[in-house]
A and B are shown apart, each in its own frame.
Chain A
Amino acid sequence: MKVLMLVSPQCQRAAQIASSLGDVVALAIAPDDTVFASLSLPASSTRIRLWDESLDPSSFHPFDVEARHAAVLAQAARRLGTSIVLLTESLTGFLSAGIAEQLNLAHVSEVVSAKLVSDGDDDPQLLVHRRGLRSLQVLRGTSQAVLSVLPSLQPASEPAQSVTSVTEWSLHDVSLGVADLPSPQLQVVAQSVRHHRPRLFLSPGALVARLRSDGLE
């Protein structure tokens, strides 16, 4: 089974899960190959780097960037014939949901781990551990899903000596043109940045009471 994994910072957990699920196709949307340097993947994995100037993160608001990346990754999954897509939770938080919506697949967020389990002659099923508010939710079902994996807390390992055999793709390779990408939906109207001070608590007791009211019993 082919598993498409998006290469991004702190994606070691996603890489580990992907390796356990099947043949990994590691795809990066990046201008150069350095993103693969610190990634630990089986030697049999396929590495693909896709780039076009229209995907440059600095050109648009992060939401619009992720909407564009979602369109590209969904199309890449179609071309590769993968039914499981793994990626590390993004800061903007839209990417995995955007891919799932376009592929019409289930989307699971806050994924801690995943594996394939087989019951006799049936097709293997996907068993996903998801971080919940109060428990680790274990989901079971068909092996077709977009999994948004929690980032790894371990520092990235030392970069490898060299990265070899990275296939380069362009938008054309996934049958897309710049005009096919979603138009920007957000515009920044003011450059001033606004932050908030934290809510303060006089005592640990008050803080604990608040945490309890948010479900942290």
Chain B
Amino acid sequence: MIEFLDSEPLCASLEALGQARRLGSAVGMTVYALLPMQSVAPQARERLGQLLGHFGADGVVLLTAESTVHEHELRFAPYARALQQACEELPPKLFLMADTPGARDIAPRLSARIGGVFLASGEPACEHGGLKLFDSHGQQVMPCDDPLADEMFAPTMLPVVMTLQAGRYALSRGSTAVPVRFMAPLDVDASSERTPVPGGGLAEDHCEPFSRSQRLWIQPPATIGPDTIPPLVAVSSERALLDRRSVHSLIAVGQSVVDRSDVQFGLPLGDGVTKDLLRVIEAEFARPKEPSVELNLSGLLSFHGDDDEELTPSTGRSWDGSDIVTGDTEPRLPVSAPSTAADSSVAHPPRTESASPSFERTNAGSDEMWDGDPTPHSVQDAVPQAELDGIDTEPITELGHKDSHSESPKAAASDENAKREEQP
């Protein structure tokens, strides 16, 4: 399920879509991108097939809200019946959402509704040709067989609903526009206990301001009272009682952030400059937002099929080689590789020089783990474009040690590709 804000998909949602794409290609699953229709501007809807096809979807499903009143924040109730209808028509093996406030409302309730398993901040991966699931503690788990499945067929795994942490997965790259369909909720038997409750009588009355300083804590407030609202994103601090329940993303700052597995984002600055971080961050937010990435979609294939046409698993679709891989052990493009900007269908806006003071980069970690502006200026032109969009973070089994699966990602990818070529 893709979450939109101002008609633009959240980056974290596109990362979840990217991981769904890799899993779908590796184990043969079709990827549907579900969109709450009210959060997408009507003029943008016709581009959705191209946009989300580019980022990994095989099909796009627009969910119709039950209320005609637009709610400003995403939650389960308005889309309950459309979601249930989607899950009945397209029974999911995996239902993925980026970990956002909306996801924390939708994902567990949907899981309860469809009788599935819910894993908050989980991790779906493909290893050795099979789907592997990890919970928030990093333990590998396996759902039991669905007791309601038809015994005439092979046992069916219970559907798994997962939220994925922001920043963990790479975006996907495709080349085909995909069909878009609408999902309107069916009328259901109101006497059934399983009847979705359209809000249960609760509906949005209004919205109140939630300032950026409340949503992002660079430093915890001087005083924390009983009514203090936890931030959505915070710089990790020993003082604050913040855990995964309160905060969606934690940021670590300092020289030793590379091996921290308890945060999602790392800013490895020298200790001397972290004191000035609040001013620097505020200065960056004060700068005008760079124009959103404009996709050059003119070269993509358009889709002219019937919206109701059955989609097929996409193992045979044409994707960048780096996308036909297995989850988080994705091969990373070397930083020193020649520029592939000419081949990319994504045209990034020109980068402007930052007004913030330049920080001395620590030598911790490999270049592949960096995001944003990842290389020294002298070799910036050689940066692969994909790196600017994000690269999978590196799994580690123990702090400081790479996961065995990530030691030779290219070899793993070639093995997967070889296996796939053998498939009919």
Contacts and interface: CB of A to CB of B under 8 A. Distances in A.
A202 B335 CA distance: 14
Which residue, A89, A154, A193, has most C-beta atoms of chain B within 10 A? Answer: A193
Contacts of B267: 200-201, 204, 207
Interface in A132-148: 132-142, 144-145
A196 interface: yes
A188 B216 CA distance: 35
A203 B233 CA distance: 17
B141 A201 contact: no
A112 interface: yes
Interface string A65-88: 000001000000000000000001
Contact of A194 (B138, B142, B280): B138
Nearest to A150: B230
Interface stretch (B19-27, B192-200, B416-424): B192-200
Interface string A196-217: 1111111111111111111111
Interface stretch (B45-53, B66-74, B86-94, B309-317): B66-74
B139 A193 contact: yes
A113 B367 CA distance: 44
A200 B365 contact: yes
Given A94-B118, A106-B199, A136-B209, A197 B396 contact: yes
A81 B204 CA distance: 27
A205 B143 contact: no
Which residue, B194, B268, B371, B373, has most C-beta atoms of chain A within 10 A? Answer: B371
Interface in A101-155: 101-102, 104-110, 112-113, 126-142, 144-145, 150-155
B260 A197 contact: yes
Contacts of B74: 132-133
Contact of A190 (B12, B112, B140, B168): B140
Contact of A93 (B75, B120, B209): B120
A213 B257 CA distance: 22
Overall SS of chain A's interface: mixed
Given A127-B205, A141-B199, A208-B284, A200 B370 contact: yes
A169 interface: no
Interface string B306-348: 0000000000000000000000100000000000000000000
A6 B207 CA distance: 28
Interface string B258-302: 111101111111000000010011001101011000000000000
Contacts of A196: 123, 168, 261, 328, 393-396
A59 to B, nearest CB: 15
Contacts of B229: 112, 131, 136, 150
A153 B242 contact: yes
A34 interface: no
B207 A203 contact: no
Contact of B266 (A97, A199, A217): A199
Contacts of A217: 212, 289
Contacts of A215: 5, 10, 100
Interface stretch (A10-18, A50-58, A158-166): A10-18
A213 B11 CA distance: 5
Contact of A109 (B101, B199, B280, B396): B101
B386 to A, nearest CB: 14
A136 B208 CA distance: 5
Contacts of B206: 138
A44 interface: no
Contact of A193 (B137, B232, B265): B137
Given A107-B105, A194-B396, A154 B5 contact: no
Interface in B52-106: 71-77, 100-102, 104-105
A78 to B, nearest CB: 12
Given A98-B112, A138-B204, A189-B141, A204 B281 contact: yes
Nearest to B364: A200
B369 interface: yes
A131 B101 contact: yes
B1 interface: no
Given A106-B200, A215-B10, 5 more contacts: A63-B119, A192-B140, A197-B393, A204-B354, A205-B287
23 contacts: A61-B135, A97-B112, A107-B200, A133-B232, A134-B5, A136-B209, A137-B204, A138-B204, A139-B204, A140-B203, A150-B246, A153-B241, A188-B140, A193-B139, A198-B252, A198-B260, A199-B266, A200-B267, A201-B266, A204-B280, A204-B359, A211-B216, A212-B285
Q: Which 9 A-B residue pairs are closest in the complex by CB-CB distance?
A: A206-B372, A106-B200, A195-B261, A132-B73, A141-B202, A97-B108, A142-B201, A141-B201, A101-B112
